[in-house]
């Protein structure tokens, strides 16, 4: 079984591994897995006795994304009931980050941890200090240094973003049960170390399609929290498509009330009020994440066309659409009302969105001629910029006469990405064959699509954005993003299943030095996160490619 987990290179071993994964999905190997886990527990159990504090202790490799530098110092820090968090300087934004950390630590420990200004004299033993310090400007906007000694923990950065990113690392070096929502026995011990860290790419994102199936505000917040745990800093929300329009636009209210009234399969759909959207923007900002709204145009517009007849070339509104075919709809790009419509939509969303970007889609507009499409994209770019924002579009927009600061999101067409690079446009790398979270893991996983092939956990991890497309080098790449389209995704549990474990790999691709990444080592670290997701009550996919760890008290779930 160990050889299967590592994965053979021959076709026969590959096919045999697929059969094992399929059998596991169907429950046929349950007795075998129970036996193996029983033997592992009986033969490989670990003692609860802790090593003496003056003896060197090996630091487990558990951090994802992999830090730039992680230097273990071989001792133990223990979080006790007397622990508090101290901040320097005493400013509200840093206090809020401290309270965020309290909210992560208090449920499982049961400790009444508080947040206080850093004292002028020495820090109390067992404390955690969060510090803003200009000494760390060389680490950039999101870099940090985390120092754990026997006496205390110090997390320093020149920015609030850096402190927040470092907190995610700190959470991961505690035992997995720190993520439980009820009091656990502890002890809360971590191996001492110094972590000095900063990201490779500025843009590390995930996309959630709420148009094909609608997801409530609290469900999106859950997704934001999972993304933040892996230092993701962009949430791209696909708010409109043929099957639904998901944000109230007051100047065109039927978009939401009518266009948002259904979804794939004919369900009730739904939409966000502008207050809902503002709440999501603020929640993402509290996790130092930028929300990127997308309004797909000129194609993928049936929900809008069904809501307003005048947006159609023939002036006749089509019926609402609940299927999954693409490319059949298009705005009436030769009618001026379409540009009034777009200007109103962009104006309203720009006023609600503090981030710099608005995504305009621009993909699969098969109903338009090339000249019509290119002229439309140029006019939309002008509209977006007139409202103080920068345009992002799927890679087809590279064929239009757009220039920087517009950004191209590569998903399918290498030639478009190459064109964008030649024009000096920045590129977000989202190759469908590697980064699309809606692709099935294998034949036997119940959710997802297969048009771009299968994307197992190894395939999702073992690629490099700067080597994906010939002629697109690292200086042209803004970052990476993993889109989750939801034609087959209906519940929060479905989202979690498709996100994890692949999301962790995408986060590491975006953050960690490429030269330090390797599948054989990564899969061990990834396996250590299984108990963390169990503690978080996450419905993740237990890939047989990963040697999952289990806490001794955790039930085995197949």
**Per-residue pLDDT reduced to its tens digit, 323-375:** 999 999 999 999 999 999 999 999 999 999 999 999 999 999 999 999 999 99
Angle (CA) 113 52 70, round 5°: 65
- Which token pair is 231? 């230092």
Q: Give the pLDDT mean for 122-126.
A: 93
Closest CA to 150 of 172, 130, 175, 125: 125
Reported in sequence order, the residue ranges of 133-276 that DSSP labels E, i.e. its strands, are 144-148, 152-157, 188-197, 203-209, 234-238, 240-241, 244-245
As a whole number of angstroms, the distance between CA 361 and CA 351 comes to 19
CA distance 101 to 84: 11
pLDDT tens per residue across span 32-48: 333 333 333 333 333 33
Q: How far is CA 520 from the centre of its chain?
A: 23
The pLDDT value recorded for residue 446 is: 96
Q: Are 83 and 111 in contact (CB under 8 A)?
A: yes
Q: Which pLDDT score is estimated for 58? A: 79
Question: What mean pLDDT is predicted for residues 202-229?
Answer: 98
Q: Which of 468, 543, 469, 444 is nearest to 500 (CA)?
A: 543
Q: How far apart are CA 447 and CA 496, in angstroms?
A: 11
Domains of the chain (ranges; CATH) run: 69-197 (3.30.379.10), 203-431+468-486 (3.20.20.80)
Average pLDDT, the chain: 91
For residues 377 and 406, the answer to whether their CB atoms sit within 8 Å is no
pLDDT one-digit tens code per residue, 429-488 = 999 999 999 999 999 999 999 999 999 999 999 999 999 999 999 999 999 999 999 999
Rounded Cα distance between 347 and 378, Å, is: 17
| pLDDT exceeds 80 at position 24 | no
For 304-327, b/e burial (b = at least 16 CB within 10 A) is bbbbbeebbeeeebeebbbeeeee
Which residue in the block uniquely carries the two structure tokens 């697929």?
18
Helix spans in 216-335 (H)? 217-229, 254-257, 274-286, 302-307
Confidence of residue 54 (pLDDT cuts 50, 70, 90): low
| Per-residue confidence (pLDDT) for residue 550, from 0 to 100 | 74
Mean pLDDT of 100-118: 98
pLDDT band at 21 (very low <50, low <70, confident <90, very high): low
Q: Express as a percent the part of the chain with pLDDT over 90.
A: 87
- Written as six digits, the tokens of 499 are 């996100």
Task: Find where tokens 């310090």 sit.
Answer: 133
pLDDT at position 22 is: 55
Q: What is the DSSP string of 365-393?
A: -TTS-HHHHHHHHHHHHHHHHHTT-EEEE
Average pLDDT on 133-137 reads 97
* Catalytic (active-site) positions: 364
Does residue 6 register a pLDDT over 50?
Answer: no
């Amino acid at each position: 079984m160990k050889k299967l987990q590592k994965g053979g290179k021959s076709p026969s071993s590959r096919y045999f591994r697929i059969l094992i994964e399929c059998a596991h999905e169907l429950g046929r190997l349950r007795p075998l897995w129970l036996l193996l886990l029983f033997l592992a527990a009986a033969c490989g159990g670990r003692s609860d006795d802790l090593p003496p504090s003056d003896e060197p202790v090996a630091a487990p490799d558990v951090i994802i994304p992999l830090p730039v530098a992680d230097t273990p110092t071989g001792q133990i820090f223990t979080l006790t009931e007397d622990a508090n968090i101290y901040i320097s300087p005493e400013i509200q934004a840093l206090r809020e980050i401290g309270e965020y950390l309290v909210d992560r630590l208090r449920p499982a420990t049961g400790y009444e941890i508080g947040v206080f200004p850093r004292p002028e004299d020495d820090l109390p033993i067992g404390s955690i200090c969060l510090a803003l310090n200009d000494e760390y400007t060389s680490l950039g906007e999101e870099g940090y240094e985390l120092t754990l000694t026997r006496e205390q923990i110090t997390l320093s950065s020149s920015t609030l973003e850096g402190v927040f990113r470092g907190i995610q690392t700190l959470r991961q070096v505690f035992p997995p049960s720190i993520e439980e929502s009820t009091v656990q026995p502890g002890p809360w011990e971590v191996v001492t170390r110094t972590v000095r860290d900063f990201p490779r790419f500025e843009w590390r994102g995930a996309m959630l399609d709420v148009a094909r199936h609608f997801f409530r505000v609290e469900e999106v917040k859950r997704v934001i929290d999972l993304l933040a745990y892996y230092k993701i800093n962009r949430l791209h929300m696909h708010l409109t498509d043929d099957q639904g329009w998901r944000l109230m636009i007051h100047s065109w209210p039927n978009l939401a009330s009518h266009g948002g009234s259904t979804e794939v399969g004919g369900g009730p759909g739904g939409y966000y009020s502008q207050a809902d959207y503002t709440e999501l923007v603020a929640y993402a900002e509290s996790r130092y994440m930028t929300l990127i709204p997308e309004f797909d145009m000129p194609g993928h517009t049936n929900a809008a066309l069904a809501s307003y007849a005048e947006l159609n070339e023939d002036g006749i509104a089509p019926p609402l659409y609940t299927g999954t075919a693409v490319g059949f709809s298009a705005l009436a790009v030769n009618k001026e009302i379409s540009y009034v419509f777009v200007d109103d939509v962009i104006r309203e969303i720009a006023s609600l969105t503090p981030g710099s970007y608005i995504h305009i889609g621009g993909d699969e507009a098969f109903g338009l001629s090339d000249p019509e499409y290119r002229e439309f994209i140029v006019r939309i770019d002008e509209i977006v910029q007139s409202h103080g924002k920068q345009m992002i579009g799927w890679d087809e927009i590279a064929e239009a006469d757009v220039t920087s600061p517009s950004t191209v999101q590569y998903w399918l067409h290498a030639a478009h990405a190459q064109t964008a690079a030649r024009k000096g446009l920045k590129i977000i790398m989202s190759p469908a064959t590697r980064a699309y979270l809606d692709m099935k893991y294998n034949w036997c996983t119940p959710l997802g699509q297969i048009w771009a092939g299968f994307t197992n956990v190894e395939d999702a991890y073992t690629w490099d954005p700067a080597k994906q497309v010939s002629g697109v080098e690292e200086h042209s790449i803004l970052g990476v993003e993993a889109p989750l389209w939801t034609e087959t995704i209906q519940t929060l549990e479905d989202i979690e299943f498709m996100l994890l474990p692949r999301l962790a790999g995408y986060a590491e691709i975006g953050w960690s030095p490429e030269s330090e990444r390797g599948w054989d080592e990564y899969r061990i670290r990834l396996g250590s996160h299984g108990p963390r997701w169990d503690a978080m009550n996450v419905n993740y996919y237990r890939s047989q490619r990963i040697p999952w760890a289990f806490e001794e008290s955790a039930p085995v779930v197949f």
